[in-house]
């Protein structure tokens, strides 16, 4: 079976590291291991990973320091932090440093797998749905920047195509404007850019919705963002 992606496990506890490796390999991930912060930093410089599982309490360079350094250097690889610390402030600090998610030990391996899959869907929607995919009753082709409904072709902008790809990769989940802007525009959002997201969604709806007043594909969740509801 095709590998699900490559993951770097940064963990100094041998039993935890080996358990994570065996579990992830069973689920068809390619796994590399680092036992301390310095080794992890060297491995990230030498290779490309789809996701990093990062323990906070590491020898040589701490997980917090590593995360901060990588984000300062504009490393885009998603990071899930692993730690025995359960305090809310530790989670907040980790997320502010640039982590994409946070799991407190002891954790369920099945929960961790679900979190890995969710983060990778958000970061790499093309791995989930590809460049040609279905959303609602639409056939989307990103290479042609076109969608087809009942034989009728509708042209899309590149950004509109990537918005649809992102929604298709994240069905039945409320997606905030902030998340959309980071995923599609590659930047953190401001009050002005919130309006940018809404304008692009409005233009996209004008092309793909049968009734823009009662959208069936991309729905608004008041005060939270947008949602694509899939029946699959």
Mind listing the domains of the chain with CATH numbers? 5-123 (3.40.50.2300), 130-228 (1.10.10.10)
The predicted model scores a pTM of 0.66
Q: What is the pLDDT of residue 189?
A: 62
What does the pLDDT profile of the chain (232 residues) look like in tens digits?
345 789 999 999 999 999 999 999 999 999 999 999 999 999 999 988 989 999 988 999 998 899 999 988 878 889 999 887 665 666 677 777 788 888 888 889 999 998 898 888 877 788 778 899 999 889 999 999 999 988 899 999 999 999 999 999 889 899 988 888 888 887 666 666 678 899 999 999 999 999 999 999 999 999 899 999 887 6
State how far the Cα of 196 lies from the Cα of 192, in Å rounded to an integer.
7
CA distance readout (Å), 9 to 28, 57, 114, 117: 15, 13, 16, 15
Task: Tell which residue, 80, 81, 76, 74, has the closest CA to residue 118.
Answer: 80
| Residue 104: burial class (beta carbons within 10 Å; 0-12, 13-18, 19+) | middle
The three state secondary structure string of 178-228 is HHHHHHHHCCCCCHHHHHHHHHHHHHHHHHHCCCCCCCCCEEEECCCEEEE
């Amino acid at each position: 079976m095709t590998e699900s992606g490559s993951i770097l496990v940064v963990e100094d506890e041998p039993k935890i590291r080996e358990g994570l490796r065996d579990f992830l390999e069973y689920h068809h991930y390619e796994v590399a291991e680092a036992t301390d912060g310095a080794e992890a930093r060297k491995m990230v410089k030498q290779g490309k990973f789809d996701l990093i599982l990062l323990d906070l309490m590491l020898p040589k360079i701490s997980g917090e320091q590593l995360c901060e350094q990588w984000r300062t250097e504009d490393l885009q690889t998603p990071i899930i932090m692993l730690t025995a610390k359960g305090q809310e402030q530790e989670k907040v600090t980790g997320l502010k440093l640039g982590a994409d998610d946070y799991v407190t030990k002891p954790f369920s391996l099945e929960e961790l797998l679900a979190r890995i899959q969710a983060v990778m869907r958000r970061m790499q929607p093309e791995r989930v749905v590809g460049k040609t995919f279905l959303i609602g009753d639409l056939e989307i082709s990103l290479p042609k920047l076109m969608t087809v409904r009942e034989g009728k072709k509708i042209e899309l902008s590149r950004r509109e195509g990537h918005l649809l790809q992102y929604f298709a990769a994240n069905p039945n989940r409320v997606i905030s404007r902030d998340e959309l802007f980071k995923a599609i525009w590659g930047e953190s959002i401001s009050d002005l850019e919130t309006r940018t997201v809404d304008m692009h969604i409005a233009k996209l709806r004008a092309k793909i919705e049968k009734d823009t007043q009662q959208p069936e594909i991309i729905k608004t969740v008041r005060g939270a963002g947008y949602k694509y509801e899939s029946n699959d």
